[in-house]
Structure 1
């Protein structure tokens, strides 16, 4: 991203961001304000609509367009990932579980030894 792109941004972007944040504040404030008077269903619908409008407004800004472009590229890249087979995943999980148990037993043994050594040196047997 170049500095020229940032300095040449449209002043309308600031207005769009203000509207976006205003819609979000209205959604939060309205949900809190109408907590006792209005059904949860109607409040949830109102919040979803306002958040959707805020998202659409944010998507029309330069940063929003960059984010959408990044999301599309990320989705393309995630399709290229080679996922492990079920057998590979199971074997790797088993190795991790066995290693964790071994390390836990070693630490438990060291803890027991250190408690006895410190108890012997200090005279405080537990």
Structure 2
């Protein structure tokens, strides 16, 4: 663990930016509800303004940049996924549905068998 003062200042500065971003977002939401009697455009502007300020503050902080890089990488990875065709999706769904039906019948049969063994043979209840 290094005691780099520049990194410490950057980290605490980032914490302040994140805290300010949260405050700006909350201020936008509070402003939206505080202006309940005003026009919808004014209320929406307060909300959007608070959210825009929050995003801009997060963009300048290291955690915000890391999140943006993560989001871009997630989109890039999603584009690499080979999605099944409609026919393949229907076939897979059919297999799953068939398995569920077979398991339901099996569990029903097991339950009935245990019911007969327990109530009729062991306890003698009919």
Give the alignment's TM-score, normalised by structure 1.
Answer: 0.75
1:52-97 deviation line (CA, Å, top 9, x unaligned): 3212211211011111111112222222222222221111111111
Instruction: State how 1:60-79 maps to structure 2 within 5 Å.
Output: 60-79=60-79
Alignment root-mean-square deviation, CA = 2.9
Is the counterpart of residue 27 in structure 1 residue 28 in structure 2?
yes
Q: Match of 2:92?
A: 92
Instruction: State how 1:1-126 maps to structure 2 within 5 Å.
Output: 8=7, 10=10, 11-35=12-36, 37-38=37-38, 42-120=42-120, 121-122=122-123
Q: Is the 8 A contact 2:33 2:43 kept in 1?
A: no
Distance 1:88 1:16, change over 3 A: same
SS state at 1:83 partner: coil
Distance 2:90 2:25 in 1: 44
The Cα of 1:45 is off from its aligned counterpart by 4.0
Gaps (5+ residues) in structure 1? none
The Cα of 1:32 is off from its aligned counterpart by 4.1
The Cα of 1:3 is off from its aligned counterpart by 7.2
